[in-house]
Amino acid sequence: MKVTGQTWEYENKPVIIGTGTIVGPEEGEGPLAEDFDYVYDNIRINEKTWEKAERRLLEEAARKAAENAGITEDEVQFFVGGDLMNQIISSSFAARQMGVPYLGVFGACSTSMESLAVASMIVDSGGAKYVMAGTASHNCTVEKQFRYPTEYGSQKPPYAQYTITGAGCSVVSDQGDGPSITHATIGKVMDLGIKDPFNMGSAMAPAAADTITKHFKDTGRKASDYDLIVTGDLASVGLPIAKDLLKQNNVVMDGTIFDDCGLMIYDLTKQKFVNAGGSGCGCSAVVTYGHILKRMRKGELKRVLVVATGALLSPLSYQQGETIPCIAHAVALEMGG
């Protein structure tokens, strides 16, 4: 593996050979519903607690990813995963059920690309043939932990984002027909002093802009080299800020498609309850492993840069008046790369 600045270049180009995406009913009412493997008709996911529901989403996404990859779960050599719960319990408990060697990672909502970057590094180095990367979120677990329980019925400001209910997993291998992972740019922690836990888009935008800038610098690429550059998840507040910051960094986004997973997963006109758009660990995971990879396999997209963003706060840090540190990790995907 070649390292330039903050970017890993995978010389053996690991391949995503299978994915699994499981979502809740609200995500199934959005514009990407047809791109997910399964849509639950109830937000409880047929479980007695929200936490068990989130864990079930991840377990089922993992099984579906292995099935779509054409391998058995026993053939998965490592599972790299994380989530938003304290001590990443959804991923750890799901890994207990899977019974495979496990590497727990935490990058908040950037976990989807962090786990994919680490899984790809293991495969690229020859450390394994099949490695699974995955993450999940559930609207009610996150609201209860970071803000207020859903049952409380608290009002949220219009710039707040809506945590999606869903899980996404991928199986990375050393060979296959799927999109290859060519690069991963590992972000730096950035903090511009925002304390409002509802204002995630504004807090994360600087990290996204910084990582995109560093990716172009390290690789020698420019925005027009990609068919799609997608952040996850800045939503309607953070995406314009990221565009302005990129312009200040002399990064020209003209001539490319620049979008956000939090805007893609919901219809903001019809689903007004999502406010500024979607968020959560599962957001960029299900949009990437469901919608984007399907478009790549159809030949609609050849080269995509997914820049997953995360707010690294905890309930304790917020309660103690700390500001919100944020990070973004970018992974470049390419068909025929």
Q: What is the DSSP string of 116-166?
A: HHHHHHHHHTTS-SEEEEEEEE-HHHHHHHHS--GGG-----TT--EE--E
Hey, do 2-173 and 180-334 end up sharing a CATH topology, with the first three levels equal?
A: yes
Please give the pLDDT value at position 152: 62
pTM of the full structure: 0.96
Which residues fall within 8 angstroms of residue 99, CB to CB, at 6 or more apart? none
pLDDT confidence band for 148 (50 / 70 / 90): low
Q: Where are the domains of the chain?
A: 2-173, 180-334
pLDDT digits (tens, 9 = 90+) for 207-252: 999 999 999 999 999 999 999 999 999 999 999 999 999 999 999 8
Element (H, E) at 58: helix 50-69
Rounded average pLDDT over 272-282 = 96
Residue 149 has what pLDDT? Answer: 65
Helix pair 139-146, 50-69: axis angle to 10 deg: 140
What pLDDT is attached to residue 126? 97
pLDDT band at residue 139, thresholds of 50, 70 and 90? very high
Note the Cα 298 to chain centre separation in Å.
22
Q: What angle do CA 236, 162, 172 make, to 5 degrees?
A: 90
Mean pLDDT within 25-31:
98
Residue 189: pLDDT band by 50, 70, 90 thresholds? very high
Spatial separation of the C-alpha atoms in residues 176 and 250, rounded to whole Å: 37
Q: What digits encode the pLDDT tens for the residues 252-273?
A: 887 789 999 999 999 999 999 9
The topology (CATH level 3) of 2-173 is: Peroxisomal Thiolase; Chain A, domain 1 (3.40.47)
Q: pLDDT at residue 43 above 80?
A: yes
> What is the predicted pLDDT for the residue at 150?
64
Asked whether the predicted pLDDT for residue 151 surpasses 80, the reply is no
Greatest Cα pair distance in the chain: 51
Under 8 Å between Cβ of 272 and 244: no
Q: What is the pLDDT of residue 117?
A: 98
CATH 3.40.960.10 fits 180-334, yes or no: no
- If we measure between CA atoms, which residue out of 170, 120, 110, 210 comes closest to residue 294? 170
Q: Could you give the count of Cα atoms lying within 13 Å of 193 in the half-sphere of its Cβ? A: 0
**Cβ contact 233:260 at 8 Å:** yes
Picking from 96, 100, 94, 58, the residue whose alpha carbon sits closest to that of residue 75 is 100
